[in-house]
Chains A and B, each alone.
Chain A
Amino acid sequence: MNGRVVAGFVPLVDCAVLVVARELGFAAREDIRLDLLKEPSWASLRDHLNLGYVDCAHALAPLPIASALGVGHVRVDCAVPLVLGRGGNAITVARHLFDDMCAAAGAPLRAEPRSTGNALAKVVRQRRAPLTLGMVFPFSTHNFDLRYWLAAAGVHPDQDVRLVAIPPPLMVESLRAGHIDGFCVGEPWNSLAVSEGIGRIVATKSQLLPHGVEKVLAAPPALVGDAATLGALLRALAAAAAWADDRANSAALARMLAAPEYLDVPAELIQDALLGRLALGDGERLDDPDFLYFGRHGGGAPRAEEALWLYAQMVRWGHLPASEASRRTATRVFRPDLYRTHLGAPPAAVVPEPFDGVPFDPENVDAYLQGLTIHTPFVAAPRMENG
């Protein structure tokens, strides 16, 4: 690749590792010229990645798995040698819905997934018209986070509510206009809804899936096959992640990301997300240093069981039928071996307790799926007619 790497990214706080690697010379130090291509949508990023217009990309964790399985698009064997971000999402509901939820619960609610989920379930059962909730993309952690929260409270995401994908910059406006009643999105969009007084954060991803994988580096076969370039890129990104994780750098990082060529939003909102100090509404404030992070706690290393978790979500929500072959393909997308080769062995991962109380056994995904009452069966789409 002649030392030049073009990476696609979507302007979100967790594109930080790529931005830092470029802006602070971590890539240059490894003799890599890292050029970043800002993408207007996840669909566009996926097209450019799958058709070879970029060398790698900042991707939603389920996206390379969907590509490897040929779901929703052409089949491309992308590998994930590095995790670029963990956590960072939250679920926000409209003020009027939050009031209804508190009334249903019979008590003021705090941002805590179990109690707010149960309150939402009561509201859903009382209402005649279904609620509409926003997320960002079918193959997104946001979609799965939201569904996980709903289903744990007994709300069927495909029967009891309506889910729509909305570009993050339009999320707050859609909530204000009443087109949606809530959403699951990354920062700074939850904070923006709270600061404008139209939304209330009711759960964070760090509560639903602590340390949960969020964005990954998706590497197509050409990059994986070029060990020298991949190694240099991974070293540069790991160094950038260490810098970005240092809380002492949060102000500088927030300013860097706030620039028009990246996020183009106020630096203060970005810094709140980096420090895990979100205003949740009603004076409540999150204080969780691990709300969003990049590489610490060994978080940069992809883990096979996380790929299996994402595969399980795809099967659970009807993206594809369960099969031994698909399960194996999904597992192979996450490549801890590539991480180890270039960056060494990561420290042991923190495996948190599931918030819904249903243990996930990566060795037995089928049994896990069979134990879940709320799920959506796969329906095959008819193929295009030849003629």
Chain B
Amino acid sequence: VSPKPLRVLIIDKNAVRAAILEEGLRDSSAGGPPLVVNRILHEPLDLVQRIAEIDPDVILIDLENPSRDTLEQMFQVSRLAKRPIAMFVDRSDSATVQAAIDAGVSAYVVDGLRRERVKSILDVTISRFRAFDRLQRELSEAKSALEDRKVVEQAKTILMKQKRIDEEQAYALLRRAAMNQNRKIADLARSLIAAAMLLDAEEPE
């Protein structure tokens, strides 16, 4: 007899993060017991009904989600046959709890689930939330690196025009000035562009 599939529900307003998590959960369950993953992306007004329909064993929800209070009430209702509890109630693995909070995710788990099964789902969730965070950071760093490159190019052009020097000399000049002032080249380039714009504005041709 094949084991009953485990139903996991992801509630996350961030569609990309939810997709990354779903993929992670599917990968980790390959070859293991079957997993059914559902996602709720927005903040539905009929959340209670949706959850009742999906009937999940595990709910993974981002910490910032105001719908957590709705879940807490659902699980206090004692008539529910399945009664998930917040992962913190069973504090046997406080390192996992701490890691989940740091990663920005919370979990509700139906009582009676085997602990190692829950643990492996939580571990995947935490690592995917962290991976998403890293991705976001890298993206924003890449974006700012691109911006930096653009302003340095612009500053070089100004210097080349004003001082009638070549590109290499212009860059060397920028780099030396930045070192002397203990500033980043891009920051110095921004000041230089701002100053050049000011001078241009004061001296109309």
Binding site for B on A (CB under 8 A): 40-44, 47-48, 50-51, 53, 72-74, 135-138, 143, 158, 163-167, 169-170, 173-174, 177, 179, 318-319, 376, 378-379, 381-387
Looking at the complex, which one of A44, A163, A174, A319 makes contact with B68 (CB distance below 8 Å)?
A44
A contact patch SS: loop
Binding site for A on B (CB under 8 A): 43, 45-46, 48, 63-74, 76-79, 83, 85-86, 88-91, 97-98, 101, 106, 109, 111-116, 118
- Of chain B, the residue at the smallest CB distance from A52 is B98
Task: Verify B111–A387 contact, CB threshold 8 A.
Answer: no
- Of chain B, the residue at the smallest CB distance from A135 is B73
Task: Verify A165–B72 contact, CB threshold 8 A.
Answer: yes
Contacts of A382 in B (CB 8 A): 83, 111-112
Contacts of A387 in B (CB 8 A): 114-116
- Given contacts A44-B64, A51-B101, A177-B45, A384 and B69 within 8 Å (CB-CB): no
Task: Verify B72–A138 contact, CB threshold 8 A.
Answer: yes
Contacts of B111 in A (CB 8 A): 381-385
Task: Verify B45–A179 contact, CB threshold 8 A.
Answer: yes
Contacts of A169 in B (CB 8 A): 66
Q: State the CA gap A7–B69 with chains docked (Å).
A: 20
Contacts of A379 in B (CB 8 A): 78-79
Task: Verify A170–B69 contact, CB threshold 8 A.
Answer: no
Task: Verify A384–B68 contact, CB threshold 8 A.
Answer: no
Q: State the CA gap A295–B66 with chains docked (Å).
A: 29
Contacts of A378 in B (CB 8 A): 78
Task: Verify B97–A51 contact, CB threshold 8 A.
Answer: yes
- Of chain A, the residue at the smallest CB distance from B63 is A44
A-B contact pairs, 6 of them (CB 8 A): A40-B65, A48-B101, A74-B88, A165-B70, A384-B109, A384-B118
Contacts of A53 in B (CB 8 A): 101
Q: Which 9 A-B pairs have the closest CB atoms?
A: A165-B73, A167-B66, A379-B78, A138-B76, A43-B68, A41-B68, A382-B111, A41-B69, A41-B66
Q: State the CA gap A173–B63 with chains docked (Å).
A: 22
Q: State the CA gap A198–B124 with chains docked (Å).
A: 45
Contacts of B43 in A (CB 8 A): 170
Task: Verify B78–A166 contact, CB threshold 8 A.
Answer: no
CB distance from B40 to the nearest CB of A (A): 14
- Of chain B, the residue at the smallest CB distance from A176 is B45
- 14 further interface pairs, Cβ-Cβ under 8 Å (given A43-B86, A137-B72, A382-B112): A41-B65, A42-B69, A72-B76, A74-B88, A74-B89, A164-B70, A164-B74, A379-B79, A381-B85, A384-B111, A385-B111, A385-B113, A386-B115, A387-B114
Contacts of B76 in A (CB 8 A): 72, 138, 319
Looking at the complex, which one of A73, A177, A179 makes contact with B89 (CB distance below 8 Å)?
A73
Q: State the CA gap A327–B77 with chains docked (Å).
A: 22
Task: Verify A164–B69 contact, CB threshold 8 A.
Answer: no
Q: State the CA gap A72–B116 with chains docked (Å).
A: 22
Q: State the CA gap A209–B119 with chains docked (Å).
A: 45
Q: State the CA gap A278–B88 with chains docked (Å).
A: 40
Contacts of B69 in A (CB 8 A): 41-43, 136-137, 165-167
- Of chain B, the residue at the smallest CB distance from A136 is B69
Task: Verify B98–A51 contact, CB threshold 8 A.
Answer: yes
Q: State the CA gap A73–B89 with chains docked (Å).
A: 5
CB distance from A45 to the nearest CB of B (A): 10
Task: Verify B86–A167 contact, CB threshold 8 A.
Answer: no
**Interface core residue of B63, B114, B116 (most chain A CB under 10 Å):** B63
Q: State the CA gap A73–B71 with chains docked (Å).
A: 13
CB distance from B191 to the nearest CB of A (A): 31
Contacts of A381 in B (CB 8 A): 78, 83, 85, 111
- Given contacts A44-B64, A165-B70, A173 and B45 within 8 Å (CB-CB): yes
Contacts of B45 in A (CB 8 A): 170, 173-174, 177, 179
- Given contacts A43-B106, A51-B101, A72-B89, A164 and B114 within 8 Å (CB-CB): no
CB distance from B112 to the nearest CB of A (A): 5
Task: Verify B98–A384 contact, CB threshold 8 A.
Answer: no
Q: State the CA gap A76–B135 with chains docked (Å).
A: 36
CB distance from B42 to the nearest CB of A (A): 11
